[in-house]
Homo-oligomer: A and B are copies of this chain.
Amino acid sequence: MNGRQTPGFVSFVGSGPGDPELLTLKAVARLKAADAVLFDDLSAGPILAHARAEADLVAVGKRAGRPSPKQDHVSRLLVDYARTGARVVRLKSGDPALFGRLEEEMDALRAAGIGYEVVPGVTSATAAAAAALIPLTRRLSARRVQFVTGHDVAGALPADLNLPALADPLATTVVFMPKRTFPVLAARLMEHGLPADTPALLAENVSRPEQRLARGTLGGLARDLAGDPGHAPALILYGPLAGEGSPGAAFPV
């Protein structure tokens, strides 16, 4: 905390898919100005290195090796820091607007009369496409792209998915956090007419050194994941474009 006499302020900052080079200049500027940084992801080390040595770095996520703190605990921390006059960065992986569960934290700040902003970031969905050298949209073959989560808070396939929309063969679909539910989702999509041989791409640790891309089909990936329940892929893309691209070339240094 600091003794600043100005009102506190919270910046929700998208940190991108993981590669520290995919931070925006604005994200770096907010980190450099921060008195406190609240973050979820313990792998954020090189990103947190942009913060000043005096800044408080507070791990609040599941991956901190503890049970996930209650959401209202995070909101309370944000309010408490801001009330000391601190400039607070709330880091969110990818882009904060996509599956970032911003609303509870924003609501708490609004109720407390604390100013906030959102700094958008590179979503792992487009970073996965970049890594695979595929577009997510294409005239005629994929005019629509859609993003969904693969699980609800209990870890199950959400009951209210729009399956006809998700089974559209002329869209690119990106499933965030498909976890163990993908075999069930794939079965439902096939029941709704999406062919088992629809191209699919599994993308783990997108943009990080341990990135892994695996190309296959909807049916094939579902089988592979059913037989490997410990597997926790970050994203699955499926649709007509998911099978394209190539291993790519490295930027010459």
Contacts and interface: CB of A to CB of B under 8 A. Distances in A.
Contact of A87 (B99, B127, B146, B252): B252
Given A110-B246, A152-B139, A165-B165, A133 B146 contact: no
Interface stretch (A62-70, A100-108, A226-234): A100-108
Contacts of A249: 9, 115-117
A47 to B, nearest CB: 11
A126 interface: yes
Contact of A95 (B110, B126, B171): B126
A190 interface: no
B9 A103 contact: no
A53 interface: no
A22 interface: yes
Interface stretch (A23-31, A72-80, A178-186, A211-219): A23-31
Contact of A160 (B140, B145, B164): B140
Contact of A146 (B101, B127, B146): B146
A135 B87 contact: no
B26 A21 contact: yes
Interface in A199-253: 246, 248-252
